[in-house]
Amino acid sequence: MTQADELITAVYADEEGNILDAAGLRGMGRLGNENVPLRPEDLIPLPESADLMLLPQHQAVGQTAEGEVLPMTGLAVAAILPAGYTRLYLPAYVREEGAQRLPLYGYTAVVVYRDELCCAAIYTDENDKWDPVHYNTPELKKLVKRTKKELPGNRIVEQVAGCSLKWHCCTAQNLFYRRWEAGIPASPVCNANCFGCISLQPAECCPSPQQRITFRPTPEEIAEVGVYHLSVAPDGIVSFGQGCEGEPSLAAANIAAGIRLIREKTKRGQINMNSNAGYTQGIREIVDAGLDSLRVSIISARAESYNAYYRASYHLEDVKASIRYALERGVYVSLNLLYFPGFNDRPEELAAWQKFFRELPVQMIQVRNLNIDPDAFLAIMPPQQERPLGTKPFLRALHQEFPQLVIGSFSHYIESKTERD
């Protein structure tokens, strides 16, 4: 063990919630269900906008100089990273018997290195537009009132106003700030039953961090909000498929009609949809109406893994058919890759992704930390066939074979098809 390695020190939380370093114990992280020692190259200083969270009923662990893994009396500590950062390791812990399921957050390993708190992560994408400093500002309530006055009675505005002020959704807030990417929720139903759904969870599970819409916006409501935003917003994007709704392609008729109404009024800006892409007929209708970009939520290119998480009424082949249709018609396609260290980076998962991208040359992967209880997630997924590679080797392998593939974290503004034409 080198001197630099010895400076990586485990941390824990005491009964009062104070975060302390465990002198003499090396900091560890978790890859899948295995606690492993961390290295200096795994670490970055804790970002200013990161939050620290305690893991109830999960004991912190560290490694002695002799290599023994020791549980501590204190709780494990996790970092919740801002967008743009991809975690490399989960927090190391020992789960107590009968522990309650953890809430839906993306837990990241935290240690002390060179006398400062560090986390096991990499910076995947730089985009100042999503810096927390731009959101939840003192004037937000006044801006919400202004938009409600200018678009009276529009139920979409009422919905995203609640998302902005209660749930602090950044995409919702952008409508009122009149900038960048703004959400237009459109579907109260879904064709999947995702294990980690953020807008709808069974009562016995962890609480959802957002509240799903209960109505179906009309094409006119959709167009009113779309024109309002795209006509004035710099780098304006309107997006269907928000955290507060189900699957937008199930509202294809209203969305397609709304897109056509928007384009009758303005050619500016980008029309995007976030989707599981399982309902191919709906995707086709929306693409044909003038969709500019499609971001597909996906966790695996292997049917067995995909089905275990999405528990859907469609199949992975339907998702591929939707992506193929969109690509053939000039839609910019990115994947919202739900990422979990120790799962996506398994060799069998990587091999499936390599086959996927050879068949479907999407333009971008947005790597997103999966918000989930680690043990609950692994319990429903297929057992690993080989030891995981690690996040950096996984991403490196994709970049080497597909150098044109943009690997980031955010939706990037692109010119609309109407502007390009």
- pLDDT, residue 130, reads 85
The CA-atom distances, in angstroms, between 238 and each of 215, 255, 379 are: 19, 12, 37
- Tell me which H or E stretch contains 170: helix 170-177
- The answer to whether the beta carbons of residues 291 and 222 sit under 8 Å apart is no
Residue bearing tokens 């839609």:
331
- Whether the CB-CB separation of 104 and 372 falls below 8 Å is answered with yes
Q: Backbone phi, then psi, for 180, in 5-degree steps? A: 55, -140
Place of tokens 């485990």: 10
Position 418 scores a pLDDT of 65
Q: Which residue has the tokens 């692109």?
A: 414
Domains and CATH numbers, the chain: 3-123 (no CATH), 128-420 (3.20.20.70)
State both tokens at 257. 């009609």
Closest to 5 (Cα-Cα) out of 39, 41, 45: 39
**The pLDDT value given to residue 3:** 53
Taking the chain (421 residues) in consecutive chunks of 10 residues, what is each chunk's mean pLDDT?
A: 68 94 95 96 94 96 94 96 94 96 96 96 86 92 97 96 93 96 95 75 43 90 98 96 92 98 97 97 98 97 97 96 98 97 98 98 96 96 96 97 92 74 59
Burial track 85-115 (b if 16+ CB lie within 10 A, e otherwise): bbbbbbbbbebeeebeebbbbbbbbbbbbee
**The pLDDT of residue 199:** 53
What pLDDT, on a 0 to 100 scale, did the predictor assign at position 196? 73
pLDDT on residue 206 = 40
Backbone angles phi, psi at 356, to 5 degrees: -60, -50
pLDDT of residue 412: 83
Contact (CB, 8 A) for 193 and 311: yes
DSSP type of residue 16? T
Query: Alpha-carbon Rg of the chain, whole angstroms?
Result: 22
What is the rounded distance in angstroms from the CA atom of residue 247 to the CA atom of residue 242?
9
Residue 135 is predicted with a pLDDT of 94
Q: Residue 243: which of 178, 294, 147, 168 has the closest Cα?
A: 168
